[in-house]
Amino acid sequence: MTPAALILLATAALVAGADLVHKALAVDAATLVHERGPAYVLLAGVAAAWALALVAAGSPGLALAGGVLLGGAAGNLLSLPVWGGVPNPLVAGPVAFTVADVAAALGGLVLVPVAAGSLAWRRRESLHEPVGLR
């Protein structure tokens, strides 16, 4: 297993584990539980495939960012069989969410683009090399 794959999987396990522990400790009868349908499962699967594809770049930063994204998706998917939906123990005004929601959004919308941009900047000279097609 490559170092990038180890970073991605370890980060994902840490994020998903933190989310599930938080849910287990914070959920009570008053916690809002959102049911998730097949479209959500498909979206989480796409996020997971995208995160795993980031390993191909071999970048530790991109692997870390993908692990945060993957951990968020996994945390919510693993909640489905346990709670019959995704409990949302964090509430900010009218919005209820989970640690996994924050991780998936942060990973997919901030960390992955920043890490990809950083990698492209570091490898900018090789981006100008012609690609030989045979």
Residue 131 domain flag: no
User: What residues make up the domain containing 45?
Assistant: 3-120
18 found inside a domain: yes
- Please check whether residue 91 lies inside any domain of the structure: yes
Kindly report the length of the chain.
134
Q: How far apart are CA 28 and CA 44, in angstroms?
A: 25
| Total domains in the fold of the chain | 1
Q: Would you give per-residue pLDDT tens digits along the chain (134 residues)? A: 899 999 999 999 999 999 999 999 998 877 878 777 788 788 888 888 888 888 888 899 999 999 999 999 999 999 989 988 889 898 888 888 899 999 999 998 999 899 888 988 888 887 676 666 66
Residue 85 in domain: yes
In a domain, 54, yes or no: yes
Give the model's pLDDT for residue 10.
Answer: 97
pLDDT for res 133:
65
Give the residue carrying structure tokens 């916690």.
Answer: 31
Contact 83, 27 (CB under 8 A): yes
User: Is 125 domain-assigned?
Assistant: no
Domain assignment of residue 97, yes or no: yes
Q: Is residue 48 part of a domain?
A: yes
